Amino acid sequence: MTRKKQIIVPIAIIAAGALLFILFSNMKKPPEEKEKIDTTPIVSVQPVAIGPMVLEVNSYGIVTPKYETELVAQVSGPIVELSQTFERGGFVAKGQLLARIDPSDYEAALIDAQANLASARASLEKERAQGKVAEQEWKEITDTSPTELSLRKPQLAQEIARVKAAQASVLRAKRNMERTEIRAPYDAMIENRNIGLGSFVGTGSMVGKLLGTAIAEVRLPVADGELQFLAEQGKDASVVLIGDFAGQEIEWQAKVIRSEGVVDAKSRMSYFVAQVQDPYGLIDEKKHEIPLRFGAYVNAKIKGIELTSATIVPRYLVVDDKIATLDQDNKLQFVAIDIVRQVGRDVIVASGLNEGDQVITSALDYPVNGMKLALPDDEEGDLPKTDETQLASIKD
């Protein structure tokens, strides 16, 4: 009997506990179902536009004339005539008379030299006649060979020398006469004039300074690392000069004509020289409606190599030469890219990206290759940074 109780009591307790558990379970309210939250990161993207691109190297410089000349008086005397255009800023043509030195003394010197030449020529003719007479008389007197002295050859040579000296004097006098006229050696602009009407100038006196208007030059410094972006290291490269005129930004077309071939010891820059033909528009007014003035400071864009396909992306998106993109399955993909050049806050990518690729422009806390991403509902998908204009050319 006691043994049966020991078996029945525990079973009864377990059964009672089970009934109580079932009873309480039925009395408990079922848990409310919570709305499922999508934790997929939302990102913004920028479509990639691929196209040809011309690289440019930026530089700067001062406009100077290719030729400039300091006019110096080659004879002395008072100034008796001045051209009205011989003023600072005046334009003069090649061969135009700028000033005249009093030619009176030089005219007299020329007349004197011409008279001496005529006298020397007369003496020469006389000596030639006397030589012929001496030779004829010698033949009548003796059959022996005459000496040079008996034929008056030394006297003849002396008279020939006198004629040549007189001719040289005439040439010198004519040159001095020509030098009394100070003329422009080429088409030029007057930078300054140091003489006035009636002032006396001596040989070697500074008269004025001319600036040639046919060709203007600009020395353009370029860093050694930028030479790689120039075709044939800048030989015959096109250049756009940008400067201010009357408060407006104006452009002029130029061309690199040479490299100076050395690295400046102070700046460590290589220098190119760009030329502009007819900078003041004196020959062709339509070519330069606004003059490129000497002494003006200009910025320069040197045309460089051309990339057949490239794009521009913000520099901050690139990490270890890779960029995050969103694939067709809305998954994160890191793409290796080839960076050609860094330009300010952007980089130029030559390969690695294709037309229409979606570059992720927003930051990700823990990016993992292949992770699922989402786009915002109002994603416009435009391209604010890389447009057709930027694909045509790129600033340094």
Is domain 57-65+215-305 in CATH 3.40.50.300, yes or no?
no
**CATH code of the domain made up of 45-54+308-394:** 2.40.420.20
- Residue 295 buriedness (CB in 10 A; 0-12 / 13-18 / 19+): exposed
Q: What is the pLDDT of residue 157?
A: 82
Could you give the 3-state DSSP secondary structure of residue 87?
coil
* Bridge partner list, 338: 351
Q: pTM of this prediction? A: 0.72
pLDDT given for residue 7 in this prediction: 66
Structure tokens at 70: 């300091």
The yes/no answer on whether domain 68-210 falls in CATH 2.40.50.100 is: yes
Which residue in this structure is represented by tokens 């606004």? 290
What is residue 12's predicted lDDT score, i.e. its pLDDT? 66
Q: What is the pLDDT of residues 73-122, one digit of tens each?
A: 999 999 999 999 999 999 999 999 999 999 999 999 999 999 999 998 88
68-210 and 45-54+308-394 share a CATH fold: no
233: left (phi over 0), alpha (psi -120 to 50) or beta: left
Query: What is the full per-residue pLDDT of the chain (396 aa) written as tens digits?
Result: 555 656 666 666 776 666 766 766 666 565 566 666 667 778 888 898 898 999 999 999 999 999 999 999 999 999 999 999 999 999 999 999 999 999 999 999 999 999 999 998 888 888 787 777 766 766 666 666 666 666 677 787 888 889 999 999 999 999 999 999 999 999 999 999 999 999 999 999 999 999 999 999 999 999 988 898 998 888 889 999 999 988 889 999 999 999 998 898 888 899 999 999 999 988 876 666 789 999 999 999 999 999 888 999 999 888 888 998 888 888 888 989 998 888 889 999 988 888 888 888 888 888 888 888 888 864 444 444 444 444 444 444
Q: Which of 42, 46, 36 is nearest to 374 (CA)?
A: 42
H-run or E-run covering 322: strand 322-326
Domain ranges of the chain: 45-54+308-394, 57-65+215-305, 68-210
